[in-house]
Structure 1
Amino acid sequence: MKILITGQHGQVSLELQQRLQGLGELVILGRDQLDLADADLIRQQVRAHRPGLIINAAAHTAVDLAESEPDAAFAINTIAPGILAEEAKALSIPLIHYSTDYVFDGSKPAPYTESDTPNPLGVYGQSKLAGEQAIAAAGGEYLILRTSWVYSGHGKNFLLTMQRLLQEKAQMRIVADQIGAPTWAGTIASSTRALIQQWQAGKAGDWGVYHLTAQGETSWFGFAQAIGEQLRIEGKACAELEPIPSSAYPTPAKRPLNSRLDCSRLQQQWHVSQPHWQDALHECLAKQH
């Protein structure tokens, strides 16, 4: 089977390229081959390769930048996924697409389920929600996997930023009132492999929207503490951490205070579950050495 993956150097795409080996021929289309803002090119590429499965691992993920360039965010996060879904339906193949906790406003006191009504706070969340709706409107088979707080050993993310800054600074103030589950890109890729294997084995659950994050919960402050602990174990310098409220660290895009997602439906329907965020973090850190 030919698996077409959009995105080449993104966190999730890099992990998929490692973890989907052996499932089929991987066709990786990075920005050089596929400009997701070019609708005609997307159709041409899908029709040229005729894959048996499409995985859309590319996105406009710069949350604050999206506020000042909404057209780019909607082109990549909304229009492109809709076109991929239409092409997948034309080929009678499934589409796997990744979405985000930012489709919710974070006001719910408990973890969000798939049946909760989205209410995004900013352009990024709005564009991702519209992308989900465009995929559903195409009427084919799809999995939309909402995840949160993605990090890895590659690219730009909270883990790598903290590892650098904690060693450079004496003190750091970190937001402590946003709660969620840091989710390693390796976890997302491993779960995606398990989902594909269930589908290939004829054991697929229902198609649709699912939540896929690590288990457990913490704040950005708690996540930073865990990263700092590892630095100390390795005998490296580590800044003193001070918890602060979101109001003390204003950003162009407002973040949800509650980013917790209930992932039980994925376990029930597809028998795929995720590790605790701390266990996944340790595995990711071990791979850095």
Structure 2
Amino acid sequence: MTRDIDTQLQQYKIQRKNRGCLLIRCPDQPGIIASISRFLFQYNANIIESSQYSTNHESGNFFIRIEFDCPSLPDQKEEIKTRFLGIAEKFSMEWKMTFPSDVKRMSIFVSKELHCIRELLFEWQSGDLMTDIVLVISNHEDARELVESFDIPFVHIPASRENRQDVETHQMKLLEAYAVELIVLARYMQILTPAFVEANPNRIINIHHSFLPAFVGARPYDRAYQRGVKLIGATSHYVTNDLDEGPIIEQDTMRVDHRDNIDGMKKIGRSIERSVLARSVKWHLEDRIIVDGNKTIVF
């Protein structure tokens, strides 16, 4: 199984060895796209995909994602990034240039409920999530058999309010040792400390089992049932120190009615959670998200 996934990743890296991606946020003004296009043309780069968004009617910010193919890219990555600094300074850009062949290294945190991690592993196995899942950390043993069947290291670290600091110190050492670039909370039922969150800005994706901002915190299905809601949903977001209030990446809903009890709503909700989380992770891995304050622009 691991051999097949490794083969898929190697093929993906080879196919995209000449591919680059630019994500930019800056004040809106004339000449931005023209300057970027001229710069890429100097390297004989071909623009494969370009998406942009402007908030002229609000704060006057400009957002753009450009994916390009450049034959000389493998040997000139650092030169291209360095020379782009001149354009970035001219237009006061917040920017990053990434390369799809540099596959991101991901860790999954999970507790007892396994539906979300199953979905991520299935998407990964089928080649729809191009990432290197290097580590799974859990405060319970429930996921061990599943994770180890994929030959992924599984680390059990019992966690509680009393030992949270020691737990996170251990987790941070593991994340550093495995060079993790993205942390996915696949129903990890522990609140992260401010220090942990601040060490990983916009690198932690959580799935919340309700359509935020409604029913934040614990037991949302119980409260939704008591309110007699007609729609239930799930929300994925980047984690911040404001509980369940980080920048929202993706949401979805499904209709319910008076015939659905709490267990039935949870079953429907789990289905939504799986797909919402998988889409969010995929978009992050493909560098399709720009965080703008407490919002996201998803291209």
Q: Which has the larger radius of gyration?
A: 2
For the criterion TM > 0.5, the same-fold answer is: no
State the TM-score, normalized to the length of structure 2: 0.37
**In proportion to residue count, which structure has more helix?**
1
